[in-house]
Chains A and B, each alone.
Chain A
Amino acid sequence: MNDTTTLQLLLWVVFPYMVLAVFVLGHVWRFKYDRFGWTTRSSQIYESKLLSIGSPMFHYGIIGIFLGHVVGLGIPKSWTQFVGISDHMYHLMAVTIGLAAAVACVGGLMILIYRRRTNRRVFGATTAGDKLMYLLLAMTILCGVLATVVHTTFGTYDYREGVSIWFRQFWTLQPSVELMSQAPIFFQLHVLSAIALFGIWPFTRLVHVFAAPVGYLTRPYILYRSKDPRKEAERRGWEKVKF
């Protein structure tokens, strides 16, 4: 096992952990110093028609893909076998559901990129950061689709024996370089561009993912706030100071 080159070590160990640090600290920094900039920067006011098709398609697609990744990367093969899901069954489910999500996601993304490029108002509001983000996002998605089609559907590579294990090892701080360096090319490219995307994430509009307003489901409709900061502190779990 001594064929690990420096480059591979850099790619599959150093780079991912560096990006993890940037990702976490970047968000902390952004939240602290640029809460005002923490927004979707919606362009719907410029153009609504294409957005109303492309944006839900893309977002629901990518949410589906995210959930697929949670299952595919997070759940070891032995667990699904233990509950009685055969490998073939699992594979069938993953491919059909994944394919539907991928079609929605890629289709939506194509509509959104077309819209962004052809609508002058929207293009005018596109920053250099947006363009880099779109590039990495499109590359990640494209490589992911290619990896699935080329290496899994028509190939023989089982990512649950390779990439997934590396992913879990990454979180237990023992990533084995071989699992990644021996993975097929599109899987490698997919992972690398995804890591790059995570690296620029905190500094782009992608932060809006962490603004998902789930609290809206439980809060009262009408909100009051006081000018007086002492009243602001009267929240649940806070004991009122008695003078």
Chain B
Amino acid sequence: MRVMAQMSMVMNLDKCIGCHTCSVTCKQAWTNRSGTEYMWFNNVETRPGQGYPRGYEDQEKWKGGWELGRNGRLKLKAGGRITKLMQLFSNPKLPGIEDYYEPWTYEYDNLLHAPAQQDTIPTAPPKSLITGERMDIQWSGNWDDDLGGTYLHKDKDPMLKGIEDKVQFEFDQTFMFYLPRICEHCLNPTCVASCPSGAIYKREEDGVVLVDQDGCRGWRMCITGCPYKKIYFNHQTGKAEKCTFCYPRLEQGEPTVCAETCVGRLRYIGLVLYDADKVTEAVSVTDEKDLYRAQMDVILDPRDPEVIRGAEAAGIHHDWILAAQNSPTYKLIKEYEVALPLHPEYRTMPMVWYIPPLSPVVDVVRDTGYDAEDAESLFAAIDALRIPVEYLANLFTAGDVPTVERVLYRMAAMRSYMRDINLGNAPREGIANAVGMDGETMQEMYRLLAIAKYEDRYVIPVGHHESAHDLESTGTDCPLNAPGGPGMGMSLPEESMGMSGPGFSSKRQENAVEKPEGVRINLLNWDGNGRPEGLFPSPAAGTA
């Protein structure tokens, strides 16, 4: 057993409202430079839809990910080492800029310098950011957002293959949901395997997949390799760039920008421990439908004493093991088994997981006049509504419908179970039992999915880059710098260091004003006189 720690994310798709705040904040943080205009490290797709770049999931066309060779061994779908080197001069499976979109700006100067009292209204025509010439905008990152252009493009979604006849007439009324995507930070990443220069790597400490910008030589094989098309080619610098999982923030214990700014609070970030020795075996299972189970089995129980021993032997720090034990993603993936990987059939072991949306089903039940929160009618609807379930199975379980159904049952049961409690009725244990859970676990899951606070959603241990200095034998740090020691006055002004500075999150927790326990503030009942109960902390004695 070789225990490794992996930072992972879970997104609860029921909560995504498709506002693109994650995409925009990510772009502002990472890809607002020239050459990166078309890069969306985080993007939000409307499903059914083509995704970004268009139709990226069609691996018969793009050849991303791994496949099993005739001898049953894992191989790169786009060809192995020799093939790659032979194709260095022209990659036959590289998406062109037109598969993304040609980035543009507007000639704002026309507006700013329009003469006063002009007869005609000045306009700002679009201008290509690649050629600098005026252009006709044809497509963009989320042109088919909210099923825009549905009738023109509906059959182009690769995930509709095999079920298109059922969907053609109904799907614009039946279901739609949003799928936010970042790099999957896979356990078995094809981008890493495809890079001829060896510039892409998985970070040993937290499994984040990064591109060494000084090592990248622009052979662009990673773009083909990644089946999620989450590596982009910077057309100015000639280098590959990708989602970094906001590693500078993670190292300080802060969540990624996309998660931090998520309006629906649907993202969870935490550690999982996995057995690196088992990965190859797990991704080589013959039946694609077994891949989800195989991936689950690679993830280790962080409370198992043997796993803890293994983790310590692998040099994983104690606070990281604790963080893995409190990880919200571990709970959603392994304990409640409601999170599913995106496209396990690519055999890369993606580490961004999704709770499939129940909302499309609920909407249909409500529209038909039935009680949309009743477990029975929901279960029946999940069974009856083959289209969304089969579609979700194409996305999350390589087409295995029962697994998706099981997850949706659990989500439906949770709604039903919690409604009884919210209405003051006796909770019905039978609902929980019907989906293989008990009432207590169901309530825990409800709390994690519905009301989890910041520190419950993001359990991110601070990175250990300090150890090299602290070691007695290397000793590059001043021993007088101990808390309260004479060196303490010389610490750096942390507030001045960028957005947050080192240790910002822990400090924020220390400095946070304690809220009164158990007091609910209701300003509707406040008569306007005096201080509303509980809104402010009680003034400390001796201060004005």
Q: In the bound complex, what is the Cα–Cα distance between A48 and B220 (angstroms)?
A: 13
B328 at the interface (CB under 8 A from A): no
**CB–CB A217/B189 < 8 A:** no
**CB–CB A224/B203 < 8 A:** yes
* Residues of chain A from 10 to 51 with CB closer than 8 A to chain B in the complex: 35-48, 51
> Number of contacting residues on B, CB 8 A?
53
**CB–CB A42/B220 < 8 A:** yes
**CB–CB A223/B468 < 8 A:** no
Do A219 and B131 form a contact, CB below 8 Å, given A38-B217, A39-B216, A224-B204?
no
Interface residue from A35, A55, A227, A231 paired with B463 (Cβ < 8 Å) = A227
**CB–CB A217/B132 < 8 A:** no
Do A225 and B238 form a contact, CB below 8 Å, given A36-B214, A124-B130, A230-B468?
no
A125 at the interface (CB under 8 A from B): yes
Interface residue from A35, A48, A217, A225 paired with B203 (Cβ < 8 Å) = A225
Interface residue from B89, B97, B197 paired with A213 (Cβ < 8 Å) = B197
| Interface SS majority for chain B | loop
Q: In the bound complex, what is the Cα–Cα distance between A115 and B220 (angstroms)?
A: 20
**CB–CB B204/A226 < 8 A:** yes
**CB–CB B235/A46 < 8 A:** yes
B96 at the interface (CB under 8 A from A): yes
Q: In the bound complex, what is the Cα–Cα distance between A219 and B215 (angstroms)?
A: 15
**CB–CB B219/A40 < 8 A:** yes
Residue of A nearest to B199 (CB): A223
**CB–CB A227/B133 < 8 A:** no
> A44: which B residues are within 8 A, CB to CB?
90-91, 94, 96, 220
A237 at the interface (CB under 8 A from B): no
Q: Indicate with 1 or 0, residue by residue over A156-194, a CB within 8 angstroms of chain B CB atoms.
A: 000000000000000000000000000000000000000
* Residues of chain A from 26 to 83 with CB closer than 8 A to chain B in the complex: 35-48, 51-52, 55-56, 58-60
A208 at the interface (CB under 8 A from B): yes
Q: In the bound complex, what is the Cα–Cα distance between A52 and B92 (angstroms)?
A: 7
* Residues of chain B from 93 to 120 with CB closer than 8 A to chain A in the complex: 94-97
Count A-B pairs with CB separation below 8 Å: 132
Q: In the bound complex, what is the Cα–Cα distance between A229 and B219 (angstroms)?
A: 27
**CB–CB B192/A225 < 8 A:** no
> A243: which B residues are within 8 A, CB to CB?
471, 473
* Residues of chain B from 459 to 513 with CB closer than 8 A to chain A in the complex: 463, 465, 467-468, 471, 473
**CB–CB A228/B85 < 8 A:** no
Q: Indicate with 1 or 0, residue by residue over B326-358, a CB within 8 angstroms of chain A CB atoms.
A: 000000000000000000000000000000000
**CB–CB A226/B202 < 8 A:** no
Interface residue from A124, A215, A224 paired with B202 (Cβ < 8 Å) = A224
> B203: which A residues are within 8 A, CB to CB?
224-227
Do A213 and B85 form a contact, CB below 8 Å, given A36-B237, A42-B218, A45-B233?
yes
> B94: which A residues are within 8 A, CB to CB?
44-45, 48
Q: In the bound complex, what is the Cα–Cα distance between A82 and B261 (angstroms)?
A: 76
**CB–CB A213/B96 < 8 A:** no
Do A208 and B217 form a contact, CB below 8 Å, given A55-B90, A225-B201, A231-B204?
yes
> B441: which A residues are within 8 A, CB to CB?
none
A221 at the interface (CB under 8 A from B): yes
A131 at the interface (CB under 8 A from B): no
A154 at the interface (CB under 8 A from B): no
What is the CB-to-nearest-CB distance from B187 to chain A, in angstroms, rounded to a whole number? 9
B196 at the interface (CB under 8 A from A): yes
Do A222 and B235 form a contact, CB below 8 Å, given A36-B213, A243-B473?
no
> B156: which A residues are within 8 A, CB to CB?
none
Q: In the bound complex, what is the Cα–Cα distance between A211 and B132 (angstroms)?
A: 31
13 additional A-B residue pairs with CB within 8 Å, beyond A225-B203, A226-B204 = A36-B239, A39-B239, A40-B217, A42-B233, A44-B94, A45-B220, A48-B94, A60-B89, A125-B130, A216-B84, A222-B202, A223-B198, A225-B201
Q: Which 4 A-B pairs have the closest CB atoms?
A: A213-B196, A221-B193, A41-B238, A39-B218
Pull 15 A–B residue pairs with CB atoms less than 8 Å apart, ordered by A.
A35-B214, A38-B217, A40-B219, A43-B235, A46-B97, A48-B94, A48-B96, A52-B92, A120-B133, A121-B131, A213-B196, A213-B217, A217-B85, A225-B201, A227-B205
